[in-house]
């Protein structure tokens, strides 16, 4: 979480390639984020249930679920520049 309470949270399962892809993307662009395991973290499970996230990866930006299929296609980031801008802008909106 960043200082201003804006955040990106990834709810993942251990062997999810799409989770690994989005996490690697965030790390490569130094976009602040948190990762929680849907398999072992009760808090992650509660968040997923509250936001009706039914599969991994669950992507939560500033408390709102983001459909991973808007960002990922065939286990690749659809448009890296656009995805980076979308995620960074989402964090800046709450500043």
Question: What is the residue range of 48's domain?
Answer: 8-87
Query: Pick from 20, 6, 31, 4: which is nearest to 88 by CA?
Result: 31
Residue-by-residue pLDDT tens, the chain, 95 positions = 334 456 999 999 999 999 999 999 999 999 999 999 999 999 999 999 999 999 999 999 999 999 988 888 766 787 888 888 878 877 776 55
- Assess if residue 94 is contained within a domain: no
In a domain, 20, yes or no: yes
13 falls within a domain: yes
Residues contacting 76, CB < 8 A, separation 6+? 21
Is residue 19 a part of any domain in this protein?
yes
2 inside domain: no
Residue 73 is classified by DSSP as E
Is 93 contained in some domain? no
Q: What is the pLDDT, as a whole number, of residue 92?
A: 73
CA distance 50 to 12: 16
How many structural domains comprise the chain? Answer: 1
Domain CATH for 16 = 3.40.30.10
Residue 1, domain member (yes or no):
no
Residue 94 pLDDT? 57
Record the pTM: 0.80
């Amino acid at each position: 979480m960043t200082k201003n309470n804006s955040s990106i949270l990834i709810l993942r399962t251990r062997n999810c390639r799409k989770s690994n892809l989005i996490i690697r993307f965030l790390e490569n662009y130094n976009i602040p984020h948190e990762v929680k395991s849907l398999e072992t973290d009760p808090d992650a499970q509660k968040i997923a249930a509250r936001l009706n996230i039914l599969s991994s990866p669950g992507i939560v930006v500033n408390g709102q679920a983001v459909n991973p299929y808007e960002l990922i296609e065939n286990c690749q980031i659809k448009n890296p520049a656009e995805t980076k801008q979308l995620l960074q802008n989402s964090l800046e909106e709450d500043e």
